[in-house]
C-alpha cells in the first residue's frame, strides 16, 4: 500500500538550532532548494512560526507562479510543516544525534489530495530527487555555518 508521502533523511554535522535557523526563514528556502523551482519570498514573516502564512515565487516547466503556504505544525528547533494552497504538505523533522549532529527528514505529503495525479505524472520520483538535492545543500550550508 502506498503511503502517498515522499521522505528522505540525512545526517548533518551541526546542531538542530543551526539547521532550524536555515529552514525557518522563508528567504533561505531558495538557497537550499534542490528542485530549482523555488524563487524568492513574496510575502510573509522573516522567520516562520505557528500559523505563519508565507508565499514564494515558483517556476515549474518554465512557467512562473506564486505559491501560498501556511505553517500547520511547528516546534522550535524540531518540526516545521506547511500546507500549500492545495492539500499537500512539505516539512522538516529534526532529531538531535548523540554526537551533536542532527538527523533531518524532509517529507512531501500528498496523501490529502488527488494522489493519483501525482503518481501518474511522476511527481513522487521527481520530488524524491529534489528532496535529496535539498538535503545535500542544507547539510553543506549548515555544516559551513556551524564551523563559523
With cell 515522499, the residue in question is 6
What is the overall mean pLDDT for the chain? 89
Say how many residues make up the chain: 148
- Beta-carbon neighbour count of residue 2 at 10 Å? 8
95-111 as b/e: b if 16+ CB within 10 A = eeeeeebbebbbbbbbe
66 or 44, which is more confident:
44
What mean pLDDT comes out for the span 18-27? 96
Task: Please compute Rg for the chain using Cα positions.
Answer: 15
Reported pTM: 0.89
Q: 100 to each of 59, 135, 137, 143, how far by Cα in Å?
A: 36, 18, 19, 12
- In the predicted structure, residue 147 carries a pLDDT above the cut 60: yes
Smallest Cα–Cα separation from 22: which of 132, 127, 143? 143
The whole-number pLDDT of residue 1 equals 37
Q: Encode pLDDT of 106-116 as tens digits.
A: 999 988 876 66
Q: Encode pLDDT of 53-107 as tens digits.
A: 999 888 877 888 788 999 999 999 999 999 988 788 999 999 999 999 999 999 9
- Beta-carbon neighbour count of residue 69 at 10 Å? 21
Q: What are the helix (H) ranges across the chain?
A: 16-23, 29-32, 115-121, 123-147
CA pair distance 147, 107, nearest whole angstrom: 27
Amino acid at each position: 500500500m502506498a503511503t502517498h508521502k515522499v521522505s528522505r533523511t540525512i545526517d548533518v554535522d551541526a546542531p538542530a538550532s543551526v539547521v532550524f535557523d536555515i529552514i525557518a526563514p522563508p528567504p533561505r528556502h531558495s538557497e537550499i532548494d534542490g528542485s530549482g523551482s523555488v524563487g524568492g519570498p513574496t510575502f510573509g514573516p522573516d522567520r516562520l512560526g505557528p500559523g505563519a502564512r508565507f508565499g514564494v515565487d515558483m517556476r515549474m516547466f518554465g512557467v512562473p507562479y506564486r505559491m501560498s503556504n501556511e505553517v500547520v505544525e511547528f516546534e522550535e528547533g524540531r518540526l516545521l510543516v506547511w500546507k500549500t494552497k492545495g492539500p499537500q504538505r512539505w516539512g522538516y523533522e529534526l532529531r538531535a544525534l548523540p554526537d551533536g549532529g542532527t538527523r533531518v527528514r524532509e517529507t512531501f505529503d500528498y496523501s490529502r489530495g488527488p494522489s493519483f495525479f501525482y503518481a501518474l505524472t511522476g511527481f513522487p520520483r521527481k520530488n524524491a530527487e529534489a528532496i535529496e538535492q535539498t538535503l545535500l545543500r542544507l547539510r553543506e550550508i549548515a555544516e559551513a555555518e556551524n564551523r563559523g
